[in-house]
A and B are shown apart, each in its own frame.
Chain A
Amino acid sequence: AQRVTQPEKLLSVFKGAPVELKCNYSYSGSPELFWYVQYSRQRLQLLLRHISRESIKGFTADLNKGETSFHLKKPFAQEEDSAMYYCALKVGGNEKLTFGTGTRLTIIP
């Protein structure tokens, strides 16, 4: 069965420093990977998906099939980036998402 691992439950970064939230997955086929974010008192929402190859709010994520990783990166952290981040995996024609356990990112002013 597919699995998503986010090794860091908590991550604190100073404002202006680079951010990297790690995500590894286990699946032998061609997955679709997503990052979802939950800001304080807001609902969970899509941040970005790998097939769009886009940058959202300064965040990017590259799918590395060799390392089975989809790490989320931002070169300069901002205070408004403080939130809970979930990596999620969709496989094949299956519409279900498998979520990681999440990383709570705190940006220190």
Chain B
Amino acid sequence: DADVTQTPRNRITKTGKRIMLECSQTKGHDRMYWYRQDPGLGLRLIYYSFDVKDINKGEISDGYSVSRQAQAKFSLSLESAIPNQTALYFCATSEAAGTGTHGTQYFGPGTRLTVL
């Protein structure tokens, strides 16, 4: 779904560097999410935001931080990257509760991050 975009699509960095991954959406959804995907582990939730003033930790938030700059933008930062943060990162959005499709999440194309 081209309404959810992520930049960069690929990034190679070194241990200790600060990295920011960006997500933008034109779907007008309030809810946004960051996941990481690792082989054999599926998708794990890092952070989520239900509106601009609401930020919540997911199951694996250590080593990450986020910023919800606007309804349409949700950034994920790795303050000091380490090799075990090498993964595929996905952003997703969803509508608020009470709408017909709530619960359905719409995913971006992913960012492949390699930390050397």
A56 to B93, CA, bound (A): 22
Among listed B18-26, B70-78, B79-87, B98-106, interface-contacting one = B98-106
Q: Does B89 contact A (CB under 8 A)?
A: no
A49 adjacent to B104 (CB under 8 Å): yes
Nearest chain A CB to B90's CB is how many angstroms away?
A: 7
A50 to B63, CA, bound (A): 35
Among listed A62-70, A75-83, A96-104, interface-contacting one = A96-104
Interface on chain A toward B: helix, strand, loop, or mixed SS?
loop
B31 adjacent to A95 (CB under 8 Å): yes
B107 adjacent to A45 (CB under 8 Å): yes
Q: What is the 8 Å Cβ interface bit string for chain A, positions 86-101, against chain B (1 contact, 0 not)?
A: 1000100101111111
Contact of B40 among A43, A49, A95, A101 (CB under 8 A): A101
Q: What is the 8 Å Cβ interface bit string for chain A, positions 1-45, against chain B (1 contact, 0 not)?
A: 000001001000000000000000000000010100000000111
B107: A residues at CB distance < 8 A = 43-45
A100 adjacent to B42 (CB under 8 Å): yes
Contact of A46 among B41, B97, B105, B108 (CB under 8 A): B105
A49 to B104, CA, bound (A): 8
Q: Does B60 contact A (CB under 8 A)?
A: no
A6 to B48, CA, bound (A): 24
A99 to B105, CA, bound (A): 12
Q: Does B1 contact A (CB under 8 A)?
A: yes
A101 adjacent to B42 (CB under 8 Å): yes
A96 adjacent to B45 (CB under 8 Å): yes
Nearest chain A CB to B74's CB is how many angstroms away?
A: 14
Given the known inter-chain contacts A43-B109, A102-B42, please indicate yes or no for A95 contacting B104, CB distance below 8 A. no
B48: A residues at CB distance < 8 A = 95-96
Tell me the B residues contacting A by CB distance below 8 Å. 1, 4, 31, 33, 35, 40-45, 48, 50, 58, 90, 92, 94, 97, 102-110
Tell me the A residues contacting B by CB distance below 8 Å. 6, 9, 32, 34, 43-46, 49, 86, 90, 93, 95-102
